[in-house]
Amino acid sequence: MTNGPTRLADLTATRLTAGYAAGEFSPVEVTRAVLARAEAAQAAVNAFTRIDAEQALARAAESAERWRRGAPAGPVDGVPVTVKDVLLMRGAPTLRGSRTVRAEGATWDEDAPAVARLRESGAVFVGKTTTPEFGWKGVTDSPRHGVTGNPYDPGRTAGGSSGGGAAAVALGAGPLSLGTDGGGSVRIPASFCGIFALKATYGRVPAYPASPFGTLAHVGPMTRDAADAALMMDVICGPDWRDWSQLAPPTGSFREALAGKVAGLRVAYSPSLGWDVPVAPEVASAVRRAVDALAGLGADVEEVDPGVADPVAAFHTLWFSGAARLVQPLGPADRELLDPGLREICEQGARYGALDYLAAVDVRMALGRAMGRFHSVYDLLVTPTEPITAFAAGVEVPPGSGHARWTGWTPFTYPFNLTQQPAATVPCGVDGDGLPIGVQLVGARHADALVLRAAHALYEAGAAGIPAPAVP
């Protein structure tokens, strides 16, 4: 073996599969190294709801035998993966951060579509990662599993709702993590934790069961870099009959599409979407440098806003209504077990009527048309992922911010759940406290490959990625 255990846990999925093919190291060695990191990450930041070493090592041994025969099961054979604990995974309870979910009495014998595709491809499942209760907010703490801290400062939030997955990737507890994003839930924690994440076009990655938040909720990869996300997308976009709203299978490989250039791309740089958002100066400067890097690669960059109004009221109507429907079957005793913030938005959501909901749908459709028109001129929209860096862990909003709900401090993410567009976050720097900063790349619907290509170009040019956090 040419690499020590610590080094193996730091390798990308792309590098791991190349090493397996060359016989440099085995999936078993890699899995042991990753499991050690997972235990350390759990002790440091509480990233996991479950670590299953026995199952992971068994799958790794099976993978090692396939690689020995030169017959890997798929592109991620032997690669350690973590799964957000709102997605079904065979053999493990899906508790969703809630004390209202009973692990006993269920067989837990079904995989979500993306999990099934990863299993077929030979992925090694390390465990399940933390989420706020039912994934309802942009930070990760729950009544059932407590608070998840940030790998760069455990006293800060990892973001959410896929916070455990972001922390796991950042700390070397598996290079790939499967998350969900209903208002920013892979992009927020990826930005706060210094990793890459893609919210794919709605329907590109099949989902089952359907989210209570409807077509706001997307499934997407959280990874070390854009190349690993493309690798993961080539696996998880496989069709699944259980999702009636899935898109047709991709016509080409996302990995192969990375080879394209960004020269000539029409890029709109919007520092704040044209809204009155106070973006932290260090965030603004880091995002500007990323934009300059795209220009240096030949992109045609123009500073311009999309010309749309903040759709937060419509988003709240749809999001809070979905939450109310989610808890509708619960009796009074179970409702008392809920996160108090979730209980509040459920009560608000229950007060909306059908006409309120349809009015929000009208806003959503108008926003979608406006962004469609915008992307007929511009290939990419670039914004900060977040106007701030990670704040104190265990609270929904930054102390003293005056925000009522989590949407107040993440205005650049939820609009693109309403429009169903692909949007990625790329680490582009750190602030004075060493906390990560992300830049968001948004494409037209179905332009997932283009978003990945532009993000990959930033990595290739050395304009993306930041030093990893210290190993716990």
- 15: Cβ contacts below 8 Å, ≥ 6 apart: none
Q: Which of 26, 63, 142, 161 is flagged as catalytic?
A: 161
DSSP-assigned states of every residue in 108-122: -----HHHHHHHHTT
Q: Cα separation of 409 and 49, whole Å?
A: 27
CA distances from 128 to 82, 93, 208 (A): 6, 9, 17
Residues 6+ apart with CB under 8 A from 368: 418, 419, 420
| Cα gap 368→386, rounded to integer Å | 21
Active site residue 270: no
d(CA 382, CA 303): 9
| 165 and 193 Cβ atoms separated by less than 8 Å | no
Measured between alpha carbons, how far is 295 from 273 in angstroms, rounded to an integer?
19
Q: Which of 26, 63, 84, 177 is catalytic?
A: 84
272 is catalytic: no
84 is a catalytic site residue: yes
Within 10 Å of residue 455's Cβ, how many Cβ atoms?
26
Treating both helix axes as pointing N-terminal to C-terminal, what angle do 113-120 and 226-236 enclose, rounded to 10 degrees? 100
Residue 303: what are its φ and ψ, rounded to 5°?
-85, 110
Catalytic-role residue among 26, 142, 185, 211: 185
Catalytic amino acids? 84, 161, 185
